[in-house]
Amino acid sequence: MRLPGMGLGLVLGLLCLLGVQAQAEYTVLMVEKAPQPIISFLHKTSDYHQVFNPSWLPASAGTDGREGLFIRTQDCNATVGTCSGCNGNGSKASILTFSERFPNERTMLASYSYSQLINGAHYIVYQPAYVILNGSNPTQILQRPDQPLTSPTTPWEQGQPPELCNVAMVTFLEGARALGNDVFEVFYGGSDAVVGRAVVAVTLPPASE
């Protein structure tokens, strides 16, 4: 069964766990959620009005050892209380930016590279979901929820004042970083205007005796 507005955000396919049994029931909870965006024009952590669709980029030789987020960025004029629906061209077109994660500091936004990634407006609620896959056979779905992992609940996710809005009612979860012990730091776009952060934990109930 596909849920409206789900599957368009994160599908936690990285929760492929080895040696699990199909009848096991997992618990997947968002155990932490930042109270405000970590990257936002209004919160003075972005020079750009719209920052969203984050993807996690791990450190590698190709990144000179840096890690952080690839972020879709736009610079349409934004007004609190109005969803701008930005999908322009030229100076209003999407570009990709890189937000490097520094030890002991908040992520900081810096222009990285240009790409024409212009999308039309969308008019549904974006809610991330997940699936648990068998690590030995990733074509086998062990568990799939009938409810979203989270929904737009804060002003900056719903696109309500006092925050900026590009597209209302969006929690678009794309970036994930494994913290160990089946805990993941996740990053998501809120109202296609800011970047949020949360922590997702996966647990398996003790086996019955």
Mind listing the pLDDT tens digit of every residue in the chain (209 residues)?
A: 233 333 333 444 444 443 444 456 888 888 998 888 888 888 888 888 888 888 888 888 777 888 888 788 888 887 888 888 777 666 677 777 778 777 655 444 443 333 323 333 344 678 888 888 888 888 888 888 888 899 999 999 999 999 988 888 889 898 899 999 999 999 999 998 999 999 999 997 676 65
Q: Per the confidence metrics, is the pTM higher than 0.85?
A: no
Residue position matching structure tokens 């737009």: 152
- Report pLDDT for 188: 94
Q: What is the mean pLDDT of the chain?
A: 75
Write down the residue that tokens 């597209």 correspond to: 167
Residue ranges in the chain assigned as alpha helix (H): 155-158
Residue 181: per-residue pLDDT: 92
Integer Cα distance of 45 and 209 in angstroms: 52
CA–CA separation, 177 vs 129, rounded Å? 16
